[in-house]
Amino acid sequence: QKEVEQNSGPLSVPEGAIASLNCTYSDRGSQSFFWYRQYSGKSPELIMFIYSNGDKEDGRFTAQLNKASQYVSLLIRDSQPSDSATYLCAVNGYRGGKLIFGQGTELSVKP
């Protein structure tokens, strides 16, 4: 079992809709959870991080963490074509330590 798993997609949503991206992890000791966006041919860019159970909102993005279920998600409200990218989930056990990535979910937002 991979340490961090994501649906590979592609996930296609219409412009203006909510895109929901999901990630599960296997290490119950994991403490920090991250979402990255990667445009084709570019390097990943950190967009959200979350440490505590519950929701964390930043603009159109909401990260949701449920440690009991070992599940973290990213919601993108009012999706735009410019949100079309691959979204990577990453998890680590302690700050500054080993950061493990999922395989990424490709999101396509159709005008």
Residue 24, C-beta contacts closer than 8 angstroms, at least 6 positions apart: 4, 5, 70, 71, 72
Closest approach, Cβ 78 to another protein, in A, equals 25
Contacting another protein within 33-52 (CB under 8 A): 34, 43-46, 49
Q: Residue 21 forms beta bridges with which residues?
A: 74
| 29/96 with CB nearer another protein | 96
Per CB under 8 A, the segment of 10-18, 53-61, 68-76, 101-109 that binds another protein is 101-109
